[in-house]
Amino acid sequence: MRVLVTGAGGQLGQDVVRFFQQADHIVLPCDREILDITAYQNCLERTQEFKPDVVIHCAAYTAVDQAESDIDTAYAVNASGTRNMVLAAQSVDAKFCYISTDYVFDGSAQAPYHEYDNTNPQSIYGKSKRAGEVLVQSLSSAFFIVRTSWVYGLYGHNFVKTMLKLGAEKPELKVVNDQKGSPTYTVDLAQFLLELTQTEKYGIYHASNTGECTWFEFAKAIFDEAESILGKAYSACVEPCTTEDFPRPAPRPRNSVMEHLAIRTNGFKDLRPWREGLKAFLGELAASK
C-alpha cells in the first residue's frame, strides 16, 4: 500500500510513519516544508506524483488557545487545508483518513459520546476541526474520520512530559479535576490506523485508550507509574483544582469521554486501557534515554 502522511513531523505523524513503514508499506512522509496543505496546487502536485492508495491527514492547527485570536489561520489549516487534501486524494482515487478531536463536542453530556451524537464545538479549534469533518464527509467518496483525545507520545510536547518535568522541579502541582476524558498513546492510535486503513469500513470512529480519568487522576497515575518504570522519585504534591482556577482563552469540554461504538460494530479490536498505554509509553521513554 502506498501511504501519504501529512503532518509527518508531528507527535502522531511520526509514529504513523514508523508503523506503516515497519509493516512494509511505501510511505511518503510530508511535513510543512515538503507540503503546504493550504496551497491546493501543491497538494495536487505532490499527491499526483506519489499516487497514494491512502492519505492519512495528521496535519492540523492544534494551538487550542491561540486559535481563539488566530481564527483565520486555524480555519485555513483545519478547514481549507483539509479540503485541499481531500480533493487531491480524490484525484487519484485514494482513501482519506482524517484525524479529528473530542473538541467537536461541547462536553456537557453525562454519558460518553458516540460517533453519531450531535456535535457542538465551543472553541475555534473545535469549530475548525468540525468544519474539516464536514468537508471530508461531503467531498470524499472513501473516508475514515477518527476522533481522538488527550494524545501523548515520544515526539513533541504533551501532558505526560510536562508533568514529569514539573514534578521534578516543583514541590506542589495543581491539576484540574473537573474535566474527564481518555488519554491516548500515539503508538496505540497508529496501530489502529494501520489496521483501519487497510479495510473499506468507512465512516466515523472514536479511538482512544479505553477507560476514563480526570486530568488530576491522570497526573497521579503518571507519577505512580514513573517512579517504578523510570526509577526516579517525584516529590511534588499533586492537588486537585477546578477549571475556574485556571482560566484559559479556549473553553475545554468537561466530558471528553468517547464511546467506541464503531470500533466494536465493525469488528475491530479496541485500544488497550489507558493506564496500560501509559506504562508502555513510560517504558518507551526510558528506553529512548
- On whether the CB atoms of residues 35 and 43 are closer than 8 A, the answer is yes
CA distance 42 to 6: 13
In the sheet that 2-6 helps form, which strands lie side by side, from edge to edge?
26-30, 2-6, 54-57, 95-101, 143-148, 203-206
Q: CA-to-CA distance for 122 and 232, rounded, in angstroms?
A: 39
Distance CA 277, CA 222 (A): 11
Cβ neighbours of residue 222 closer than 8 Å, sequence gap 6 or more: 160, 163, 164, 167, 278, 282
Annotated catalytic, 185?
no
Catalytic residue among 61, 75, 113, 125: 125
Judge contact between 152 and 282, C-beta under 8 A.
no
Q: Which residues are catalytic?
A: 125
